[in-house]
Structures are given as structure tokens and as C-alpha cells.
A and B are shown apart, each in its own frame.
Chain A
Amino acid sequence: MRKIILVAAATFGLAGFAQAADITGAGATFPFPIYAKWAEAYKKETGIGLNYQSIGSGGGIRQIKSKTVDFGASDMPLKGEDLEKDGLLQFPAVMGALVPAINIAGIEARQLKFTGPILSAIYQGEIKKWNDPKLTALNPGLKLPDANITVVYRSDGSGTTFVWTDYLSRVSPEWKSKIGANTSVQFPVGVGGKGNEGVSASVKQIANSIGYVEYAYAKQNKLSYGLIENRDGKFPMPDDSSFQAAAANANWNEAPGFGIILNNQPGAEAWPITSATFILMHKKAEKPEQSKAALAFFDWAFKNGDKLATDLEYVPMPANVKDQIRASWKGIVDASSKPIF
């Protein structure tokens, strides 16, 4: 019996030591690949690991509120009053973009054009067939089939759904009043896939379907995707430059904690569905050395992580925004109200 207790104590003790050195974080699934990549490189350089659990934005918010992690991650920015209430500091870490993935025989990537109102009508079940007059008028050169559209959406609560429905709310008053924007909404038509994998798999398998996924997923899974008319009436190609153009004209100080959504930004080059993903930390650090380690990690990522981010089709934060974020870190203090970073 005593032996068992000793072994148990030793195991827990060791586990305690191992965790003390590592940074812990939890939340959004969308930035998980880049956080993992950054963590790998960071561990090689500094020996400090990052234990990030991609449990979803809602889970990340819950965990940082209950202080079980050093930082939480969310795709949906928290509102100023919520940040205030829980004493949280928020800053964006990296950006990404969504594309409408399609599966129509004979239509290649970047051939089919959409507008915001057309996407909204498709997702409301008002446009039912691919050869709808609205679509054929916008795409005169393409041969669109006389087939029913199968709409695919994320069935799990997800920041991706929030960004997509926020975009549809901005371009369609009808969508805004009937369905709205959230991490999960009541889609009037279509089938739900669980996770980005679920949506990609469904779009790939179901003929004449449309879904929304991160650009990186569409590219990795070789899904075909369409172009979307932006606010200036242009059809930019989804790539680094159009994603960065969306971020360039944004006013980051418009909302507390840089909590703006980059959908439908002005600019001829701007990709219309772009969004940042956010980090949440307590302003009053209970474990100052852990919070400091987390900030050091993001500082390193802002300095050295841009190449890794673009390799994975993410968009690094613009340089001037990074400086503003670093300045905001002064808001995280220890017990004696001294900034820890």
C-alpha cells in the first residue's frame, strides 16, 4: 500500500514539474496548425513547450475564465464589456480567410463567381439550382448544370461558422434579421459536417454541393472554390496579397482588445471574408511567470513566425498592429500591479 502511495506521489510530482515549464493554452481549432508549428520551432530554440488543446473557441473562453490555462484562444472576439467583466486582455494572433468550396463537375477552382447576396440566397434555400438565372447572369461563360444545390455547413459550434454568418449578415439584411451571426446558427437548408474535415469530406463526396472552409483546408484537400465580389465590386483571387489587403485598411482601435472582424472591408484588392483569431489572458496574472512565458512565446512568434504562418496559408498581423499589440501587453500586471512583460 505504502509503495503504491509513493509511486503515485512520484508520478504526480513529476507531472507537476513537467507542466510548470510548459505554457498551456486552449481554444479555437482554426489556428491550431500554426500554433503547433510555432510551438515546435519555439521549443527547439528555447526548450519551452506549448501544450495547446484545440477544444473550440467556446471551450477556450470557458477555460481562461476558470483560470485552468495560461491563455485562451477564440475566433470570435469578445465584446468590450465582457472583457471588462472578467478582467481579460484580448489581442489578435494571426489571420485567415474563408472560401466557398464547391463540387460541380467541370468547374475548376476560381472559375465560378459569387456575390454576397447570392451566397446568402443559396444558404437560405432561395437559390435552389446551379443554373439559377442570377448565377448564370454573373457567370456568362460557364456551363452550370440543372442540378439541385446541396448546402454544407459546420454542424459543430465553430468560429468558422461565426465568420461566415457574420459575412452573410453584413451583405444581406434578410440573413441578419432571420438567422444572424454566431458560432452555430439554425441553417434553414443543407447538411452539417463535423469539423473542417467533415465539411471538406462532404463537399468532396456530394456532387453539386457548396460549403465554407478555411482557404488552407480547401487548398490541402484540393477542393474547388469560387470567387466572391468584394465591397468595391471586384473579384480578387484568394491569396496572401488579397488577405493582407483586407487587414490593411482596417481600423484596429475601433473595438476594445482589437476585437474587429475583417469581413467585407473596403479596398479593390481586399478578400471579403477574412478574420483574425484572438488570444485571451487575465490582466491580473495569478501565475506571473506563466503569463510572462506565454507573452514571450507570442512575442517570439510575431518576430520569427511570419514565414511559418504564410507557409500554412495564414496571414501574419501587419507590423504596425504588432507594435500596438505589444504595447497593450503592458496591461498584464502581477500582484504588485507591475507590468510583467
Chain B
Amino acid sequence: MAAVTDQVDVPRAPAMRKTPKGTFDIVFRNASFGSALLVLVLLAGIMASMIIGGWPAFREMGLGFITSSIWDTQNDQYGAWPAIVGTLTTAFLALLIGVPLSLGIAVFLTQLAPPWFKQPVSTAIELLAAVPSIIYGMWGLFVFVPLFAAYVQQPVSRVVEGMPIVGTILYAASPSGLGILSAGIILAFMIIPFIASIVRDMLDQIPSVLRESAYGIGATTWEVVRHVLVPQAGVSIIGACMLGLGRALGETMAVTFVVGNANRLSSSIMDPGSTIASRIANEFNEAIGLQLNALIALGCILFFVTFVVLVIARILVSRVKAF
């Protein structure tokens, strides 16, 4: 922090430098300030246009826009509830599957992996983060979904049929492989690289003296991870998860391919559903009139949810950067 302030003070100190370089400095400063301002203007512009575009739908439907489950383009009745639930459920499932795996990867890479193995795995994880989401979608639809239908959905449905609770949550009426759970699993694959690499960096930042002291008093690897590393990096791990959640909430193409795209609410996570992003991707091309407003209003809701999640993530991550 100190170094940054020093740099800012430098041009001010010698007053005699009134060469053309001074004008360049002013131009440069204004230009960079303008670039920074542009981001804020863009954000405000996007927010304003979403609210204006979605306003007719909010006005027409009122609170019912959020609570209603009817999405009827015939009679111009729009309710976002199934899409909101689908978005939250898929993102939650993605975290449920993705977070433990990511933590495992990060702990393994920083604490356990032999050096010759560490580098290739780290690179592979970064490469995974760079795979375009449409590739995950195609792979999901053509490779994952048929296998999931044959080896998970159908056997599980046969076992749980008729049971209380699990018979509802895990029973697939038509075992097609497409559904909320499939979308959650694909999303988990997509957020693992993000969470794993952030957590790995966080664990690397922890002063090694802490770890060594713990080993010194006879702690096992598990005890070091559980009682030293996790408490030290705790809040930033939550922040990393929130960043992953932000991605999972807004992911569009991959989810559209595997979620089944049904505009209905189902009590089973094996059944097809839809998310806000997939609904917009599906209908935006052909939407006219109030349907278009309703889709923009959906975008507005997603924008709001993602914004809140990211703000929380920022606060949590920055708090730990202090040490």
C-alpha cells in the first residue's frame, strides 16, 4: 500500500518540470480516469436499460412476476418463479458438488503433491477454466447426458420409486438424462477450476511458519489442514465459493444444453427445468412485445442476484488479503 502512495507523490515534488511531459501527464491521467469512469457509466447504463426494458413486465404482473409459475406467451402471462428456483437449485447443486472437490484439489496441490506433479495439475486446472462454456454444453449433451441417463438416472429411479421424500426428489418421470441435477453437475465441473485456483493461491499465502509450527508440535496433515489452514483462509474460501456461485448463476449455454428447458416447477431434481439464463437464451430471438419485456425483467432479477453475490464475495476475499 505504501509503495503506491509514494508513486503518486513523485510528479508533484519537483515543481520545475514544466516540459511537454507535464501536459502528457495530465492527458494520461485524464485518459485513465476516463477509462475507469467508463466502467461505472457502462454499469449504470446497463442497469438503467434493464430496468426500463423490464419495467412494463414488472408493472403488468406486479409481485406476481416473481411468485407466479405461469409462463404463457399466448395470453401474455409471465411468472419467473420456476426459472428463479431452477437458477438457485442448479447453482446450489453445483456448489454442493464443486466446493468439496475444489478444496480437495487446493489442499492436495499446496500441501501434499510432489513438485513434479504439482505443475501439470495446476496447468490443467487453469486450462479447464479457459474452456468455452459451449464446449461444456456440447460435451454434456452428447457424452455426459446419455451416460447419466443409463447409469445414474434409471437405476436410481428404479430404487427410489415409491419411497417417501427421496422417491419424490430423486425420481425421474422420463429418464432422459436431461434435468436440474445434470445441469448442476456440469456447472460443478465449470466452477471447480475457479474455486480451486483461488483457494490454492490463498493457501500458498499463509506464512509457512504457522504450518511448520503445527507440524513441529506433532500435528498430522489432517490436523494442520483442519485447525491451521482452513481457519486462516476461512473467509476467503467462502469468498472463492461466492465467485464460483456468481459464475454458476449466470452460466447460459452449457445449462441450456442439459437442463431440459421445461417451463415448469418439478419437485424432483432429476426432472427437466429451466434457469433464468437458459430461458433468456431460448426465447430472446423470437420474443416480441411484453414477452421481450418479461425476458429483460428476468435478466434484471439475475443481475440483481449476481450483483449481491459478487459484492459479498469481494468483501469476504478482501478482508483476508490483509495478512
A residues with CB within 8 A of B: 55-59, 61-62, 148-151, 155-158, 179-180, 182-194, 198, 201-202, 205-206, 209
A158 touches B261 (CB 8 A): no
Question: In chain B between 236 and 289, which residues have their CB closer than 8 angstroms to a CB of chain A?
Answer: 256-257, 260-264, 272, 274, 278, 281-283, 285-288
Of the candidates B145, B176, B256, B281, the one whose C-beta lies within 8 Å of that of A150 is: B176
Q: Which residues of B contact A149 (CB under 8 A)?
A: 174
Closest-CB distance, B141 to chain A (whole angstroms): 6
Q: How far is the CB of B290 from chain A (nearest CB, A)?
A: 13
Chain B: minimal CB distance from A199 (Å) = 11
Contact A205 B146 (CB under 8 A): yes
Residues of A within 8 A of B281 (CB): 156, 194
How many residues belonging to B are interface residues under a CB distance threshold of 8 Å? Answer: 32
Cβ–Cβ < 8 Å partners of A59 in chain B? 285-286
- A61→B292 CA distance, assembly (Å): 13
Which A residues are in CB contact (< 8 Å) with B74?
179-180, 182, 185
Digitize B98-132: 1 where CB-to-A-CB distance is under 8 Å, 0 elsewhere.
00000000000000000000000000000000000
Chain B residues lying within 8 Å of A183, measured Cβ to Cβ, are: 73, 286
CA distance A57 to B287 in the complex (A): 9
Complex Cα spacing A198 to B274, Å: 15
Give the secondary structure class of A's interface: loop
Which residues from B are CB-within-8-Å of A58? 285-288
Contact A182 to B73, CB < 8 A, known contacts A58-B287, A149-B174, A188-B264: yes
Q: Is B71's CB within 8 Å of the partner chain A?
A: yes
Which residues does chain B contribute within 8 Å of A56, judged by CB atoms? 285-286
B256 touches A186 (CB 8 A): no
Q: B260 to A191, Cβ gap below 8 A?
A: yes
Complex-state Cα separation, A184 to B176, whole angstroms: 21
Cross-interface CB contact of A157 among B141, B260, B264, B282, cutoff 8 Å: B282
Question: What is the CA–CA distance of A202 and B258 in the complex, to the nearest angstrom?
Answer: 10
Q: Which residues of A contact B286 (CB under 8 A)?
A: 56-59, 156-158, 183-184
Q: How far is the CB of B27 from chain A (nearest CB, A)?
A: 12
Q: Given A155-B261, A157-B282, A206-B149, are A190 and B287 also a contact pair (CB < 8 Å)?
A: no
If A186-B70, A201-B142, A205-B177 are given as contacts, then 16 extra A-B residue pairs at C-beta distance below 8 Å, sorted by A number, are A61-B288, A148-B173, A155-B261, A155-B282, A156-B282, A156-B283, A180-B74, A183-B286, A186-B264, A188-B264, A192-B274, A194-B256, A194-B261, A198-B257, A201-B141, A205-B145
Q: Is the CB of B173 within 8 A of A157?
A: no
A238 to B145, CA, bound (A): 31
Q: Which residues of A contact B149 (CB under 8 A)?
A: 205-206
Which residues on A sit within 8 Å (CB–CB) of B146? 205
A39 to B285, CA, bound (A): 23
User: A194 to chain B: which residues have CB within 8 Å?
Assistant: 256-257, 261, 281-282
